[in-house]
Structure 1
Amino acid sequence: MKTLKLIFALLILTCTINCSTSKQVTVHENDFKLETVEYNVKDSSIKELLYTHMDKTKFKKGQSIKESTFIKERKRIVKLIRKNKNPDFSADKVSFEIDTTLSKNKFSVTTIVKQ
């Protein structure tokens, strides 16, 4: 009987260790998903250029907020403007506004390009 209790105790201990160390997927309540992307650009030719190449954007509807996406999108915009409009265009002229007040767990991005 003591052997059976010992085996049972080891089984429970093994299950507890394995269950507590396994990876668990957590769904975050505040995981916002992208709804819309807009551009705020004073120069109409640059604005037209950005809308023409909007299919190449790094922002995709339904994606989560990630810093890396904003970095990649800024690089894409700078490269596009340098190639087509202004070879001296600098990355500090591109910024983003994020609005999380649209609806529950959704956000919009406004890309701002200054001259």
Structure 2
Amino acid sequence: GNCVKMSILVLSSLFDPLHGEVSSGLSRSARDDYNFFQGSIPVEITVLPELKIIWAPNANLEGKFPSNWGCCDSLEMVNLAQNSFTGEISGVFGECKNLHFLNLSSNRLTGKLGEKLPI
């Protein structure tokens, strides 16, 4: 569909890999951020002009890390930690002037983030 006005994308709480008593003993926040998606993030998502937040840690996303974040003037928070992204991240978020939270930990990314990032 046409989602050009989408500003928040959260992919969490859709799959519970720990069933039964093990899962019920964990706090809700410890269980919330696990999904079982396949594939990468479509470029159509990363270039949304009003995207402020993309939150998909532990979502089982994989593939080449998106290098085109379009006109990311609105982008404030990105959490794509603990997925299986690969590739170069140098300069990827260079134009994201309002970005104040970025977590890409536990992926297989290379390169350095630009010194101009406001985070």
Same fold (TM over 0.5): no
Give the TM-score, by structure 1 length: 0.21
Give the TM-score, by structure 2 length: 0.21
Which protein is bigger by CA-based radius of gyration?
Answer: 1
